[in-house]
Structure 1
Amino acid sequence: MIITIGGLAGTGTTTLAELLSEKLDIPYISAGFVFREMAAEKGMSVLEFSEFAEGNDDIDKEIDRRQAEKAKSADNLIVEGRLSAFFVDNADLKLWLITPFDVRSKRIADREEKSVDVAKEEIITREKSEALRYKEIHNIDISNMDIYDLIINTDSFNPESISEIVTTTLKVI
């Protein structure tokens, strides 16, 4: 079973990936995991590698390539990442999580110990930048939901309920 989980910042992709991994006894990887793996290969700290990766589109492409490669060679894997559904061709289920902007802003503000107003400004800046990068690097329109099998509003349900929705869906595919 190969599952991709994507969503904008603050939607709960990591929380769901961890919960499903435990519940289904399936390992999960994330773009962040691959990024840390690449940093270690270069003998760099995550911060050093992050600076190295700035403005280097090849790093983004390599992260996407590695996630797809890991999924192709696995029987069971959860792949968490904003673009994972576009690169993991063999996914049995492609999920996208949504959450209202104000809720995402509050979640991020709480998680990163900053004001909601600062979080909102940063989210807007980051998402505009990412949308542009995704279009330029991969010709992907991040707002196009056609690729997803299931879209869940994570503000409507708690994490356990969301995992139940997913596991119920898996029973019928």
Structure 2
Amino acid sequence: MRITISGPPGSGKTTVCNLLGERLQYEVVISGNIFRQLAKERNMSLADFGALCELDAQVDKELDAKMVAIAQSKDNIILEGRLTAYMLSLHKIPAFKIYLHAAEEVRAARVVNREGGTVEQRQAEIIEREQCEALRYKNYYDIDIKDTSVYDLVIDSSALNPEEIVEKIISEMS
């Protein structure tokens, strides 16, 4: 079974992917790692590579194509990424699609715990990133990232720990 986990920054998707992967003995593919790999291949910093993505649709499309190719070639895999559920749906690749979300301030606090900074700073960065991504996805694919109808399961992770989220996912998959 293929599983996708999507959500905004700080929603817990990477942590949940890794825990779920361990629990199910599934390979886990994190889109952010592929993003970093593409930046490295171009000898660019993440910030510079992100700016390039805003200017050149092909960069995002390359990442999305890699995720689709991985999904087509494997089963029993968890794919994490903002557009993964949409991309698999567009390509008619069956998957159990999960969306995690949490309140902005909760997500900002999680990012602070992971990367440092202040909640205010991280919240402003999250808002800016989400606006940029929403515009890109709408322009590139006509996808409204706020539309969760593509997902089989939507979970508010604000008050749940990662283990509780994994339990909820496994229970819904059964």
Common fold: TM-score over 0.5: yes
8 Å CA contact 1:93, 1:149 repeated in 2: yes
Query: Is 2:124 the counterpart of 1:121?
Result: yes
List aligned pairs for 1:1-173, cutoff 5 A. 1-39=1-39, 42=41, 44=43, 47=46, 50=49, 53-54=52-53, 55-89=55-89, 90-171=93-174
* Distance in 1 (alpha carbons) for counterparts of 2:36 and 2:101: 26
8 Å CA contact 2:21, 2:27 repeated in 1: yes
8 Å CA contact 2:5, 2:98 repeated in 1: yes
Query: Measured at CA, do residues 48 and 164 of structure 1 come closer, stay the same or move farther in structure 2, by a change above 3 Å?
Result: closer
Query: Measured at CA, do residues 161 and 47 of structure 1 come closer, stay the same or move farther in structure 2, by a change above 3 Å?
Result: closer
State the identity as a percent.
Answer: 37
What is the identity, as a one-letter code, of the residue corresponding to 2:68? A
* Distance in 2 (alpha carbons) for counterparts of 1:167 and 1:116: 32
Q: 1:26: how far off?
A: 0.3
What is the identity, as a one-letter code, of the residue corresponding to 1:123? I
8 Å CA contact 1:4, 1:91 repeated in 2: no
* Distance in 2 (alpha carbons) for counterparts of 1:120 and 1:43: 29
Q: CA RMSD in A?
A: 1.9
TM-score by length of 2: 0.89
Query: Measured at CA, do residues 33 and 91 of structure 1 come closer, stay the same or move farther in structure 2, by a change above 3 Å?
Result: farther
Deviations 1:54-86 (A, max 9, x none): 422101001111101100110211000011000
* Distance in 1 (alpha carbons) for counterparts of 2:152 and 2:50: 35
Q: How many residue pairs were aligned?
A: 170
Runs of 4+ aligned structure 1 residues displaced above 6 Å come to none
Q: 1:39: how far off?
A: 4.2
Deviations 1:97-116 (A, max 9, x none): 01011111111122221111
Query: Measured at CA, do residues 24 and 134 of structure 1 come closer, stay the same or move farther in structure 2, by a change above 3 Å?
Result: same
Query: Measured at CA, do residues 49 and 26 of structure 1 come closer, stay the same or move farther in structure 2, by a change above 3 Å?
Result: farther
TM-score by length of 1: 0.90
8 Å CA contact 1:85, 1:91 repeated in 2: no
Local SS of the residue matching 1:88: helix
8 Å CA contact 2:36, 2:46 repeated in 1: no
Which residues of structure 2 form unaligned runs of 5+? none
8 Å CA contact 2:88, 2:95 repeated in 1: no
Q: 1:29: how far off?
A: 0.7
Which residues of structure 1 form unaligned runs of 5+? none
Local SS of the residue matching 1:148: coil
